[in-house]
Chains A and B, each alone.
Chain A
């Protein structure tokens, strides 16, 4: 009798061990999912903006940052996109939406994006020349095309943050971690805008109470395109919020857009209560090309 019992025990033992191990593996996988805010699937927001914390969390749960970049053909285009890609490659869960101002996808951008190392979407929409006079808002159609793509391809179940990344600005890597925790619309200082070293929202008690800027502080949202980010769900739940061209005044693009989706009291200040500059509105000089021959003289066709 005892021998039968022992033999049965030893036969069962390894199976029991296997079951225990399987349970253990399953529970390890569950632990790696983010702990705070386990409610529901739509809004899995990691806590805080600290870089150290994000390392402990499971990658696939971080909200995706959608960077919308309008671009157009000019000599420095590839250089600008190259530097931008280098910044984006360091950011996990970033989806780059590049919208060209052209009638079709250009070879240069297509080839560039294929090798850039970032998840991307390549769109294009042409802005007619009559809208390209000085003082007129730029890249309106391109940004709207990107918003339309997001509305078409993303749903209420997706978590993400949308921001507008012009191709000649400079972004520090910290900025992306700050904006990832946006629940509604977040704002932060921007360097070299408004004719000043920086423009920033004024923050009191964790809320935005005014704007510190050198140009038209009476704007409802006196910030630059690079100075705010919007949660994806806010974009999706305001399907008619677009950048306006008709009736828009210079410098009011951001205000006209933001007032369709949020109020100043609902803005979330980032970057240490808007006291640190993490993005700079740099502009690249037009290169001197005076020595280029009028007719193509070179034997090879080199892309610059």
Chain B
């Protein structure tokens, strides 16, 4: 009957057009998404690997967990998260490049990170400059040489300057010179030595620092870890350490982070250079910035260890001999 044929004809016409339109709509959306991601992906190694997240648990307990991960180095900048300014003093020694490589491998996972590397040298070395550029991280490369009469060797204990002090102070000065006092974008400053180990969670914990936040650090003070003592109100009231727990701030350099605005609004706060007893360096800065009760405990009320004060052995280089055996142009 003509009516049925008409109906069939109408269906035959309408169906493919609706299919076409829906497919075109979908492809438009995915291409827009891809374009957005494409704008923020850095030019290096932007291969994407999206895997379903499913976890299998076989009988012989072979755990194969697939995680959804996008290999972008570093992660795209976010407009809402506070910037982490990580200050790393470094100095030339055989393991320098290895240490910086490991640290960079960790930092490449952190969003909104600004790495301030300060060399203890007269000039910025080619090794570090080249290295920083290759990582693709957002960095600032500074240098200041610790004069020989400041350095740790051959000096009586109270006159020598702890390693890295001048470099950290230079970084603080750079921050104060670069950002205005009323800088609107939030930021957090953290001192990350190049031989420590940092978990990714640590960086997320410190992002919410309002003044100064603290957490436990492993392998310092001759203990498995040192940590602040937290009372029932969630406030710091002391320090769980064996080595001089009566220091104003008995904490390691890796155990605290400072809000950038606090650094900018207190421009006289620096690490004290001379006459600082061993272990009091951190206190020399922190007592200018904050009081004990204002400290913010992180890492689940200071019950988790998220940073380890590891130290790397000096490599055994006996076979180099006096004149050096290996080709000195090969960079290690």
Residues of A within 8 A of B (CB): 7, 10-11, 14-15, 17-18, 21, 51-52, 54-55, 57, 59, 75-76, 78-80, 82-83, 86-87, 89-93, 105, 110, 113-114, 117-123, 149, 153, 170-173, 189, 191-192, 194-198, 212, 214-215, 275-277, 280-285, 287-292, 298, 300, 302-304
Q: Which residues does chain B contribute within 8 Å of A55, judged by CB atoms?
A: 45-47
Known: A282-B98, A288-B222. A302 touches B303 (CB 8 A): yes
- Residue B150 is within 8 A (CB to CB) of chain A in the complex: no
Within 8 A of A (CB), among B53-71: 61-67, 69, 71
The CA of A59 and the CA of B13, in the complex, are separated in Å by: 40
Q: Using Cβ atoms and an 8 Å threshold, which residues of chain B touch A15?
A: 16
Return A294 CB to nearest CB of chain B, in Å. 13
Instruction: List, in ascending order, chain B residues with CB within 8 A of A282's CB.
Output: 95, 98-99, 312-313, 315
0/1 interface trace, chain B 288-332, chain A, CB 8 Å (1 if under): 000000000000000111001111110111111000011000111
- How far, in angstroms, from A283 to B314 measured CA to CA in the complex? 8
Interface: B200 (CB within 8 A): yes
Please report B residues at the A interface, Cβ cutoff 8 Å. 9, 12-13, 16-17, 19-20, 23, 44-49, 61-67, 69, 71, 73, 94-95, 97-99, 101-102, 105-106, 108-109, 197, 199-200, 216, 218-219, 221-225, 227, 240, 242-243, 303-305, 308-313, 315-320, 325-326, 330-332
Q: Lowest 10 A-B CB distances belong to which pairs?
A: A214-B319, A14-B16, A291-B222, A195-B319, A79-B308, A287-B219, A280-B98, A192-B315, A291-B242, A79-B197
Taking a contact as CB atoms under 8 Å apart, the answer to whether B20 and A92 are in contact is no
Contact A54 B47 (CB under 8 A): yes
Tell me, rounded to whole Å, the shortest Cβ–Cβ distance linking B96 to chain A.
10
- Name B16's contact: one of A17, A173, A292, A300 (CB within 8 Å): A17
For residue B84, give the distance in angstroms from its CB to the closest CB of chain A.
16
Cross-chain contact of A198 among B108, B197, B225, B330 (Cβ < 8 A): B330
CB pair B63 A292 closer than 8 Å: no
Q: Closest approach, in angstroms, between the C-beta of B310 and any C-beta of chain A? A: 5
